[in-house]
Structure 1
Amino acid sequence: MLNLDRLRTLHAVARHGSVGAAADSLHVTTSAVSQQIAKLERETGQQLLAKYGRGVRLTDAGRLLADHAARILSQVELAQAELEAHRGQAVGELRLGAFPTAARGLFPAALATLRRAHPQLRVRLTEMEPDESVRSVVRGDIDLAVVLDWYNRPLPLPDGLAKAPLLDDPADVAMPADHALAHRRSVDLEDFADDEWISWPQGEFCHDWLMFTLRSKGIEPRIAHMAEEHHTQLAFIAAGLGLAVAPRLGRGPVPDGVSVVPVRHTMRRHVYAIWRADADRRPSIRAAVSALGAAGKDVEGS
């Protein structure tokens, strides 16, 4: 009989394209992946991986079995969801991912609600950027993620995912308090054509959004610094080193020396939860979405 863990390993190699990437996704060593594949080859009596340059590729038999593995793992997920639904209780472990300001602005209240209402549910949260969250949900590394769209640029989502809106998060322009526009009631992005910006790191969804949005306004972005955390960006702004887009979710108190001014044509992030559609009936998923939705309403009402 084929071993489910070994099928999961083969599926990871097929999905990620290498033994090393599969090991990273499964949180094991490359040696452990190689051992699992070797055992699976002995079980099936067929070669599943072949050397290809410095890496490996799936043989015809490997691709055939990997396709079956994907369907089998999906069915296992569905069976687990239906068993949990049959029991009617949110129990077991629920693995969550969220971008940093959502983790700070939504999850303390949501996780406290889940702990009170579902004491047998073990929730584990990991901060990760939206692109990584989507990949992690698709791979099955996490069960649910909180991600975002910008008002003018949606986050690409693959098929097979369900989603639920949580809140709309306005974003302001944060600038040094002595900036010429710091005391305006509202601004346009075009007002800052000659300013230097502090951005998220290159390759992140929000960095790409900022480049796209400024260029759509006829502004060629002048990026002075890049910082992952909004609090770091605000510290740079307080030191007079540039300005940034500052969403309100999870922002907290603005440091001295920084002014935040609304944009006349409001910029918003649409924040929502995503999970695999075949896990839709799990009470733990529904409980988490409900708790996050309540936390989102509290944020919007504050």
Structure 2
Amino acid sequence: MLNLERLRVLHAVATTGSVVGAARLLHVTTSAVSQQMARLEQETGAHLVERQGRGIRLTEAGTLLADQAAELLAQVERVMATMAQHHGEVTGDLTLAAFPTAARGLLPPALRALRSRYPDLTVSMREQEPSEAIPAVRRGLLDLAVVEDWIDDPLALPQGLEHRTLLDDTYDIALPQDHRLAGRSTLSLADLGDEDWITSSNGQLCHEWLVRSLKQARITHTAAEHPTQIALVAAGLGIAIIPHLGREPTAAPVRFVPLADAPRRRVFAIWRSTSAARPSVGVVIDALIEACPA
């Protein structure tokens, strides 16, 4: 009979693409991974991996077994989640990722509430963009993630993931306090065509929206963090579009003006369907909802 833990090792190698990655994922040494793979090859009577340059790749037999292992491990996770639900205890470890503004605006109060209510639950958080967090959840590298999309351009989630909307977030235009438009009660994109823009880097949500909506936008500075963008605005170096979520009070000489045709983003949590019955997943989602601004 095949050993489940060795199948888990094979799945980790297939998921991460390397022995080193599998070792990091499983929190073991690389030699332990290699030993388990060698034993699995003995059990199956087949070569499961082969050298490719300085790394390895799965053979045809390895790919076949890894696919079957993924299905089996998903079923095991489903069974374990069902048993945890039966016992009703909120215990164990859970990994959670969130994009930067959600990590700043939602996670601190949610994690504080969880630590107070469920001392036997350990939640580990990392800051990660949706493009990395979504495949990590699907592949089992994360238990949950807080991600984002535009309400009028929803994200297509991979099969096997479930989601729940946490909040709809809106945006304002950040202008230097002495800007010619700073006294306006609202602005439109038509008002801003000749401005210098400060935005996030290419590939991030705000940047893509700006390029799509204002095709001639002059992007003069990019910064990943909104506080950095606000500091650049305060220095008179351009304007920026800033979300409400995670925005901290600032004494900087900046004025926030609503944008009449502003985008609205949906902030939502995702998790694997196979883990949906875990009580720990449910209480984390509840804590995230409670942490959302009114």
| TM-score, shorter chain, exceeding 0.5 | yes
Give the AA of the match of 1:134.
I
Give the AA of the match of 2:233.
I
**3-state SS of paired residue (1:63):** helix
Select which of 266, 269, 275 maps to 2:265: 269
- On the 8 A contact 2:97/2:126 being kept in 1, the answer is yes
**3-state SS of paired residue (1:194):** coil
- d(CA) in 2 for partners of 1:30, 1:155: 36
- d(CA) in 1 for partners of 2:222, 2:33: 36
- On the 8 A contact 2:149/2:205 being kept in 1, the answer is no
- d(CA) in 2 for partners of 1:189, 1:25: 46
Q: 1:281 to 1:46 in 2, by over 3 A?
A: same
- d(CA) in 2 for partners of 1:234, 1:30: 45
How far residue 34 of structure 1 moved from its aligned partner, in angstroms, is 4.2
What is the alpha-carbon root mean square deviation over aligned residues? 2.2
- On the 8 A contact 1:26/1:141 being kept in 2, the answer is no
- d(CA) in 2 for partners of 1:177, 1:68: 60
Give the AA of the match of 2:244.
R
Identity %: 53
Q: Which residue of 1 aligns with 2:101?
A: 101
Give the AA of the match of 2:261.
H
Q: 1:187 to 1:57 in 2, by over 3 A?
A: same
- On the 8 A contact 1:14/1:58 being kept in 2, the answer is yes
Deviations 1:199-223 (A, max 9, x none): 2122334433332233xxxx32322
Deviations 1:111-138 (A, max 9, x none): 2222232222111111111111112211
For 1:222-233, what aligned pairs fall within 5 Å after superposition?
A: 222-233=218-229
Q: Which residue of 2 aligns with 1:11?
A: 11
- d(CA) in 2 for partners of 1:266, 1:50: 52
Normalised by the size of structure 2, how large is the TM-score?
0.91
- On the 8 A contact 2:134/2:145 being kept in 1, the answer is yes
Q: 1:283 to 1:35 in 2, by over 3 A?
A: same
Which sits farther off after the overlay, 62-71 or 263-272? 263-272
Q: Which residue of 1 aligns with 2:112?
A: 112
Is there any run of 5+ residues in structure 1 with no aligned partner, and where? none
Q: Which residue of 1 aligns with 2:49?
A: 49
Is there any run of 5+ residues in structure 2 with no aligned partner, and where? none
Deviations 1:133-178 (A, max 9, x none): 1122111111111111123332331111111111111111112112
Q: Which residue of 2 aligns with 1:86?
A: 86
For 1:25-174, what aligned pairs fall within 5 Å after superposition?
A: 33-53=33-53, 55-174=55-174
- On the 8 A contact 1:235/1:255 being kept in 2, the answer is no
Number of residues of Structure 1 aligned to a counterpart in Structure 2 = 294
Normalised by the size of structure 1, how large is the TM-score?
0.88
- d(CA) in 2 for partners of 1:34, 1:197: 51
How far residue 245 of structure 1 moved from its aligned partner, in angstroms, is 1.2
**3-state SS of paired residue (1:265):** coil
**3-state SS of paired residue (1:185):** coil
**3-state SS of paired residue (2:264):** strand
Which sits farther off after the overlay, 64-73 or 149-158? 149-158
- d(CA) in 2 for partners of 1:23, 1:182: 54
**3-state SS of paired residue (1:267):** coil
- d(CA) in 1 for partners of 2:168, 2:175: 23
Is 1:290 paired with 2:286?
yes
